[in-house]
Chains A and B, each alone.
Chain A
Amino acid sequence: MIWFGILLAGLFVLYPWVIADDFYGRMGADVLLAAIGASAWNILGGYAGQISVGHAVFFGVGAYLPLLAFTHLGLPPVAGVPLAVVISLGVAVVIGLPTFRLHGHYFSMATIAVAELIRIAISNWDFVGAATGLMGPAVARTWLDLSFRSPIPYYYLFLVVLACLLLLTWHLQRSRMGYYWRAIRAGERPARSLGVPVARYKLYALLLSAAFTSLAGSLYSLMVGFIDPESGFGILRSVEMIIIAALGGAGTLFGPLLGAVILIPLQTTTNSLFGGGGSGLTYILYGGIIVILARFEPGGLLDLARRIAQWWSRRRDGVAVRHAA
């Protein structure tokens, strides 16, 4: 596992050197950003099994605060990032404490409603740019604005954040916390009867998940330099995190990254093939993938790969046994 991680990291570090091209550099940055968002969702939705369909709330807070700091205070956007994380944690507590009494579908419905509520409120609030949104600095004033023309600096920034997130998740999944989360996912009542403090550990998962989702939002607005209610708080933002995590494998370490590596290039391709109106086709594709996943492979691609590997080794063992006999 460790060697696999190092190999993977090596590949990602080398990628910009192999492909010295802004288009593919940007696509690589998009892949990493999507992987950060989906991995953050995965902590709560995958490991702890609480399917949030409202994670766009944290993404949006993360995306808006840097540009708010720039628009109203003239600060470099980065200055808004810590505050965004703090606010996201606050929002997570406010949403989490009551909604965690709800299970399964109830929780998902509540998260959708909260996200839509906030999206509509933001769309009508002039201080945050209402429906038109906010812009970042057009030209970097100092290097602190983190406004680069090439996508490569963003690529490495995202890579560092993703590596930290995956290392942390890797550590947590092998700790008591990880086992508690999996127990909660398997069944809250049995987990509670075995002495797992269910509410507290669900909240820990939500807080971690919210903080990193917020960070993903901040990184997005730092790179893109623009945010509006739909791209920050829209339901499709939440859907994207879920589908990427579920495609690779929810509740696995590398599942979200795998999902992002597959889905983002696919999305870039359909968008460039079908132009502006193609975004509709992209979501038809999303919907189709989700339905097929849910129907045939709810464990995602990593689970499928594991089963194929098992089948293969059993077959090989079977052959070996027959030869021995």
Chain B
Amino acid sequence: MTIVQVIVGGLLLGAVYALFSSGLTLIWGMMNVINFAHGEFVMIGMYIAFLIVTFLNGGPLAFGPAAAALLFLFGIVVYYSLIRHVMRGPMLAQILSTFGLALLLRYLAFWIFTANFKTLPQDLLPGVINVGGILIGVPQFVAGIVAIVLTIGLHLLLTRTAVGSQLLAVAEDRQAAMLMGIRPDRMQAIAWGLSGAGAGIAGALIATFYYISPTVGESLALTAFVVVALGGFGSVPGALAAGLVVGVIQSLSAYLLGPVYKDIIVYGLFVAILWVRPEGLFGKAGA
């Protein structure tokens, strides 16, 4: 019975992984850029939740949308001020730009909030759900369900709406999209906004049951890399499936082998995927 509970817990956590990884994969798919600061975007979402709870006494319905909105704007600002200029530059500049951003954000948070772990009060989303003997904490349950709904929503946005078609058109062929009257710059900015919003709300969701620290983004970013590599670079449905798989693998290895091994197993899996199938398990060849 415990093992079923571990798997369910892994699935719910994996749903949140899927949500913030889908933003990373969206950007990769559109412009072949990896955002090394993506984990820090999630970290900012967590601190936004912390600040709103502490100073404004707000609940999840306040800090969830707030984190999404603020990081949507932040993503757009990062795109226009930084990414747009380095995109066509040398590889070193592309990698350094988001990597430097990650360091800057991580240690700004360190400076402002100190290294001490912070947690949100336990009574925000109190209670435990009992489904046939499997106990699920309400925060984890809410986070998992909301994350799955939002990830599917992002997929529908990309495949069923005009904006989505325009985003995919730019990803497919920038020049041809321009000839069709689409502004690639604006579309890419929107992609960065969406990616930021997904990371922000994921951060707010995790903050309800996870510790908040300035360096939390580092391991979250690596987790997102694993999810993106497993799901195929650029695929949102792939990220959803891979996020759930990674969540379950992490929970199971922590439960069966000990907490130390959960990262070792997942990073090892990542390296193995990159070696054996760089296009991802669910990705198309030639990515």
Which residues of A are at the interface with B, using a C-beta cutoff of 8 A? 45, 49, 51, 53, 98-99, 101-102, 104-106, 108-110, 112-114, 116-117, 120-121, 124, 235, 239, 242-243, 246, 250, 280-281, 283-284, 286-291, 293-295, 298
Across the interface, do B100 and A290 meet the contact criterion of CB distance under 8 Å? yes
Interface centre among A114, A120, A280, A286 (most CB of B within 10 A): A280
Interface size class of B (residues with CB under 8 A): 35 or more
- Residues of chain A contacted by B101 (CB below 8 angstroms): 287, 291
Known: A53-B99, A113-B270. A284 touches B34 (CB 8 A): no
Asked whether A112 lies within 8 Å of B96 as measured between CB atoms, the reply is no
Closest to A105 in B: B34
Q: How far is the CB of A122 from chain B (nearest CB, A)?
A: 11
Chain A residues near B160 (CB-CB < 8 A): none
Task: Decide: A104 and B268 in contact? CB cutoff 8 A.
Answer: no
Q: Which of A99, A294, A295 contacts B274 (CB 8 A)?
A: A99
Known contacts A289-B100, A294-B100, A298-B93; is-contact A284 B108 (Cβ 8 Å) = yes
Query: Cβ of B260: which chain A residues have Cβ within 8 Å of it?
Result: 120, 124
Point out the residues of chain B lying under 8 angstroms from A99, CB to CB.
274-275
Asked if A108 meets B34 with Cβ closer than 8 Å, knowing A102-B274, A281-B107, A291-B97, the reply is yes
Instruction: Annotate B65-109 by CB proximity to A: 1 below 8 A, 0 otherwise.
Output: 000000000000000011001100111111111011111111110
Question: Once the chains are docked, how many angstroms separate the CA of A280 from the CA of B213?
Answer: 14
How close is A97's CB to chain B, nearest CB, in angstroms?
A: 9
Across the interface, A108 reaches (CB within 8 A) one of B89, B95, B103, namely B95
- Which partner residue on chain A sits nearest B86 by CB separation? A294
Q: How far is the CA of A295 from the CA of B85 in the complex (A)?
A: 6
Task: Assess whether B92 is in contact with A250, with CB atoms less than 8 Å apart.
Answer: yes
Measured in the bound complex, the distance between the Cα atoms of B101 and A284 in whole Å is 9
Q: Which residues of A contact B97 (CB under 8 A)?
A: 290-291, 294-295
**In the complex, A45 Cα to B108 Cα: how many Å?**
28
Residues on A with C-beta less than 8 A from B267 are 113-114, 116-117, 120
Give me the 4 closest cross-chain CB pairs, A-B, nearest first.
A290-B100, A287-B104, A287-B103, A298-B93
Chain A residues positioned under 8 Å from B91 (CB to CB): 49, 51, 104-105
Q: How many Å lie between the Cα of A109 and that of B225 in the bound state?
A: 8
* Distance of A281 Cα from B104 Cα, bound (Å): 9
Task: Say whether A110 contacts B104, CB under 8 Å.
Answer: no
Chain B hits for A286, CB < 8 A: 100, 103, 107
Docked-complex contact B271 and A114, CB < 8 angstroms = yes
User: Can you report 28 A-B residue pairs in the complex whose CB atoms are below 8 A from each other?
Assistant: A45-B92, A51-B91, A51-B92, A104-B94, A104-B95, A109-B225, A109-B274, A112-B222, A112-B225, A113-B267, A117-B267, A120-B260, A121-B264, A243-B100, A246-B92, A250-B92, A283-B103, A283-B110, A284-B103, A287-B100, A287-B101, A287-B103, A288-B100, A288-B104, A290-B96, A290-B97, A290-B103, A295-B93
**Minimum C-beta distance from A37 to chain B (A):** 17
Chain B CB within 10 Å, residue with most, of A104, A117, A235, A239: A117
**Which listed residue, B86, B107, B222, B278, touches A113 by the CB 8 Å rule?**
B222
- Which residue of A has the minimal Cβ distance to B104? A287
B81, B95, B106, B274: the one contacting A283 at CB < 8 Å is B106
**How many Å from the CB of B72 to the closest CB on chain A?**
21
Task: State the CA gap A235–B82 with chains docked (Å).
Answer: 23
Set of chain A residues within 8 Å of B89, measured between Cβ atoms: 294, 298
Given A114-B271, A294-B86, A295-B82: A284 in contact with B278 (beta carbons within 8 A):
no
User: How distant is the Cα of A161 from the Cα of B268 in the complex, in angstroms?
Assistant: 35
- In the complex, are the beta carbons of A235 and B95 less than 8 A apart? no
Residues of B within 8 A of A120 (CB): 260, 263-264, 267
Assembled-state Cα–Cα distance A293/B93 (Å): 8
Asked if residues A287 and B111 are in contact (CB atoms below 8 Å), the reply is no
